[in-house]
């Protein structure tokens, strides 16, 4: 376990910090370097998945911009899907809530996610976007939580492997709370109600 990188006190609903700001920044840097290597001289569209990926998308885009050798231009777009609702476990249902504004056909696209858990969201997005004939379609996730994988899907770029805990912060929520924390932490078990 680790500690917040800043002097900020740990939120009282949290048990411990799993990844602090410095560890997240290093993982984002690593994702940017991997994406840069695979897109040298080409335009790339980073496609963030709302809402959890907002911080990853923002930080990753700024790391990627200007990396040499790297992409010619970095474009941004957003989609919104939902799989968790307000429960502490995935429901298994993925719904498209907001589509992209850019056309996908003929572009090099990287889906940007905060986390892959059961894999249904990434599997759904891969199928949806592949059908639009991108030149290439890859995926970058900050956190890989491989313990409850249902869909046989892997991210192309992974920042950190995550323990099998209920985690929040840096975009990840519980009932829409804690997304704005700059670190990723374990939620205290008494805070969330688990139906199982």
What are the catalytic residues? 117
Question: Cβ closer to ligand PRP: 22 or 150?
Answer: 150
d(CA 42, CA 148): 35
**Chain position whose Cβ is nearest to ligand PRP:** 52
136-144/157-161 β-pairing:
parallel
- Nearest approach, Cβ of 162 to ligand PRP (angstroms)? 11
Name, in order, each residue with C-beta under 8 angstroms of 153's C-beta and a sequence gap of 6 or more: 116, 119, 122, 123, 126
| Nearest CB to ligand PRP, comparing residues 20 and 118 | 118
Query: C-beta of 41: minimal distance to ligand PRP in Å?
Result: 30
Q: What's the closest the beta carbon of residue 183 comes to ligand PRP, in angstroms?
A: 17
Q: Are strands 167-168 and 184-187 parallel, antiparallel or unpaired?
A: antiparallel
Q: How far apart are CA 87 and CA 67, in angstroms?
A: 39
Alpha helices in 39-145 (DSSP H): 54-64, 120-130
Q: Which is nearer to ligand PRP, 42 or 154 (CB)?
A: 154
Q: Which residues bind ligand PRP (CB under 6 A)?
A: 49-52, 82-84, 90, 113-122, 173
Q: How far is the CB of 119 from ligand PRP (least distance, A)?
A: 5
Of the pair 122, 158, the CB lying nearest ligand PRP is at: 122
Whole-angstrom distance, CA of residue 137 vs CA of residue 104: 9
98's CB contacts (< 8 A; 6+ apart) are 50, 78, 79, 80
């Amino acid at each position: 376990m680790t500690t917040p990188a800043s002097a900020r006190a740990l939120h009282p609903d949290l048990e411990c910090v799993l990844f602090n700001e410095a560890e997240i920044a290093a993982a984002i840097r690593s994702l940017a370097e991997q994406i840069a290597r695979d897109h040298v001289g080409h335009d790339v569209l980073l496609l963030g998945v709302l809402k959890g990926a907002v911080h990853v998308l923002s930080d990753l885009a700024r790391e990627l911009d200007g990396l040499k050798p790297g992409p010619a231009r970095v474009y941004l777009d957003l989609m919104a899907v939902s799989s968790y609702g307000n429960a502490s476990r995935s429901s298994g249902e993925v719904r498209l809530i907001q589509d992209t504004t850019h056309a996908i056909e003929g572009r090099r696209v990287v889906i940007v996610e905060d986390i892959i858990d059961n894999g249904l969201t990434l599997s759904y997005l891969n199928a949806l976007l592949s059908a639009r004939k991108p030149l290439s379609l890859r995926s970058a996730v900050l956190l890989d939580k491989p313990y409850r994988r249902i869909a046989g899907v892997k991210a192309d770029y992974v920042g950190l492997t995550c323990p099998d805990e209920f985690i929040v912060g840096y975009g990840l929520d519980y009932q829409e709370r804690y997304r704005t924390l700059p670190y990723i932490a374990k939620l205290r078990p008494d805070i969330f109600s688990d139906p199982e």
